């Protein structure tokens, strides 16, 4: 019996266990690092996406406000022009009525007034169409 002569493979299970557990811990560590990196990338891309969407929404709101202000400005200008033309038509109608009432057989100025009135009505209709297009 040779008591102290043991080969290096005498305790193979203990050496394999130590190497196996360290490899397992190493692989587990790297899996955790990779998973954390993937989660960080996912979170960062969502954060960037939210920022871009917020910026686009703010830009859209700003552009919409500018378009709405321009629309309201044009609409108010056209409304003023329509009101002015309506006032002119009303005054022409009054003048025409007065002229018809006071017309004699010798003078007939009503044709001139009718011509002016029709021109004003044409302008009024054109402005009304423009106003309808803006709405």
Cβ atoms 134, 78 nearer than 8 A: yes
Rounded-to-10 torsion of CA 122, 123, 129, 134: 180
pTM: 0.47
- Tell me, what's the pLDDT at 132? 81
Quickly list DSSP for 36-103: HHHHHHHHHHHHHHHHHHHHHHHHHHHHHHHHHHHHHHHHHHHHHHHHHHHHHHHHHHHHHHHHHHH-
For 48-99, what is each residue's pLDDT tens digit?
Answer: 999 999 999 999 999 999 999 999 999 999 999 999 988 888 888 888 877 7
């Amino acid at each position: 019996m040779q008591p102290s002569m043991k080969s290096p493979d005498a305790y193979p299970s203990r050496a394999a266990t130590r190497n196996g557990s360290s490899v397992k811990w190493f692989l587990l560590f790297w899996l955790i690092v990779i998973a954390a990196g993937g989660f960080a990338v996912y979170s960062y891309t969502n954060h960037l996406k939210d920022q871009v969407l917020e910026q686009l929404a703010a830009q859209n709101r700003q552009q919409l406000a500018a378009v709405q202000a321009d629309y309201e400005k044009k609409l108010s200008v056209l409304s003023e022009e329509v009101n002015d033309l309506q006032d002119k038509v009303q005054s022409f109608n009054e003048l025409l009525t007065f002229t018809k009432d006071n017309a004699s057989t010798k003078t007939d100025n009503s044709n001139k007034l009718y011509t002016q009135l029709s021109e004003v009505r044409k302008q009024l209709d054109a402005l009304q169409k423009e106003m309808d297009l803006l709405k």
